[in-house]
Structure 1
């Protein structure tokens, strides 16, 4: 397939860029002496995950049991389901374990810990469970110094469950934009998770795994003493949010949306694209950052940013491309109907989720179709 044969809108992966991103992260993890477990929720694509594994990744992280099932069927067995477990999902987790999947679960409360252990005893299996640690107040988890951490650990140290370790995710890193602040948060993330592990061990409980990670803190970490593995996801594609955070350049963004100019708003100086929010997603993650990219940054087909233009508005199937600083005010002449463009997304995970498959650009005009997963 050639680029001009693809119907628009379509999600494109620039494979050379993607491979550079994979190699950069893996090299950093190797230098820090830790295992790397990529979060495959960003791509939900076997082809991408295989490239990460081939580069040296050990195991994968998933955000849905559907992902766990699909990746296990594709030959991935070391899988961490990194969303708090609840009773209603345990039968699917059991089916995966009974099929031979080395599935790890997480909890952050005593009720869930007891529920997993009881379900495991009832069905004659032992679930490996990690405790989620809150190291930055961003989302869920147990704070490293909380008394209930030990109670949860003890609830998992019995028949039906096995305490495998602790993990944390410094999601507040997305709100930062300097090397110093990112390095400080990476150290806070590391130290908090290691503290939790040490408290569990001091209480006589096993804690083999200490797992940390987000794309910004993984890349900003200067040392990872006490950590056994790192997780990160969006690094594989990067996006405009990550560009604003400062962990990548525009030339690193490996996911884009191929779109076509279908009309103009001559009186307003805008062009109409066939990529609205159904193609880009509604994610406006850059709106509160140092540079607001609207719904995305337009580029020429070779991936070069089209300076002075922004996707400023989006309806369901229509995107509005505005002249926000281009010296040529006549957008109808500069971007005539039929012009094809690439739009770099704010949030790669959200944009990828709009499509059943990616079109992977292997070279200048060599395309493969890579399927991706849907649903929960």
Structure 2
């Protein structure tokens, strides 16, 4: 939806998206994957917006990853026909996905048990369609998936075949890469992710199963992989917007962060060294992902309305609708003099979690401050 206003006139809190930074982030990873000859299948759970997706795919719908069936149905309604649902399969998920499949959407599901293979096969038979599924592979002990030495790997593939489900391939996610912070460690994580996925595909093929897709991906490993030999596609999502966790990992600079939350100063407690704003955890999210990193960014870094960072000024505390700004512990920086009514922007720890708190983006391009559009976001499951 088109609109024309300025940031300093918006009611707060409000979610701000800088398309200049978005487009730069998109071009960076797209170019990198093109150099490897690998398909980029962006994870739309980060932006959850058809308007943002049109920046990702300016020439028309392309291959995407989703994390909810609401996302899958939403993007299908906007013409996307090639998608991977990258969350473990449940019976109700299978039923909804098969309705999409019946409508011509090539949706691939994710599973790692024989039981799930049977569920998907039955759902496909009931809908009169042929499902497709990835077997999830555990490359680093982060979450779900099968180890490549698990004998049940071949059993799951056999159960898919018996149930009339096409094996799309293998899929893994190097989630432990989010806890790293050196190029050497990130390169090693990317190589491990690649090698484990390729080995899983090799074992399945040796057992007589076609395994056309080898799917890997996380934003850190996507940017630090030195080789993608044997990989056919890369999934990543937060790279579109970036956030303070990715900055702490070492994937981006603060100048790459395309998302922020606009807030207003609503009070001061100078005796405590506090400034109060109208953005609490309902606007910023509860995510404190940087607390486990070398530099704890509280609930977010504070910038002026044009995006210039105030030295060591953090959202140090957050309650439901209040944020408390304070200078980082140990810093010699001074608390800025910000009158009540001053508009600020908060750079978030986790773009996906912060975005999920809001119904729409207010779109700007660069530091100009003119809001050119409002883009709705999809929510729910």
Provide the TM-score with structure 2 as the length reference.
Answer: 0.95
Indicate the residue corresponding to 1:328 in structure 2.
Answer: 334
Cα distance per residue 1:110-143 (max 9 Å; x no partner): 1001111122123321101110000001000011
**Within 5 A, what are the aligned runs for 1:1-376?**
1-54=5-58, 58-324=62-328, 325=331, 327-329=333-335, 331=336, 334-363=337-366, 364-367=368-371, 368-376=373-381
Q: How many residues align?
A: 373
Identify the range of structure 1 (258-267 vs 169-178) with the bigger mean alpha-carbon deviation: 258-267
RMSD between aligned residues = 1.4
Identify the range of structure 1 (275-284 vs 150-159) with the bigger mean alpha-carbon deviation: 150-159
In 1, Cα distance between the equivalents of 2:59 and 2:257? 19
Task: Give secondary structure in 2 for the equivalent of 1:28.
Answer: helix
Identify the range of structure 1 (149-158 vs 208-217) with the bigger mean alpha-carbon deviation: 149-158
In 2, Cα distance between the equivalents of 1:64 and 1:250? 29
Q: Is the 8 A contact 2:8 2:305 kept in 1?
A: no
Question: Measured at CA, do residues 291 and 372 of structure 1 come closer, stay the same or move farther in structure 2, by a change above 3 Å?
Answer: same
In 2, Cα distance between the equivalents of 1:119 and 1:10? 42
Q: Is the 8 A contact 2:62 2:80 kept in 1?
A: no
In 2, Cα distance between the equivalents of 1:219 and 1:242? 11
Question: Measured at CA, do residues 327 and 203 of structure 1 come closer, stay the same or move farther in structure 2, by a change above 3 Å?
Answer: closer
Question: Measured at CA, do residues 245 and 317 of structure 1 come closer, stay the same or move farther in structure 2, by a change above 3 Å?
Answer: same
In 2, Cα distance between the equivalents of 1:41 and 1:3? 26
In 1, Cα distance between the equivalents of 2:333 and 2:246? 28
In 2, Cα distance between the equivalents of 1:119 and 1:374? 26
Provide the TM-score with structure 1 as the length reference.
Answer: 0.97
Cα distance per residue 1:162-192 (max 9 Å; x no partner): 1110100000000000000000010000000
Unaligned ranges ≥5, structure 2: none
Identify the range of structure 1 (44-53 vs 191-200) with the bigger mean alpha-carbon deviation: 44-53
Q: Is the 8 A contact 2:190 2:225 kept in 1?
A: yes
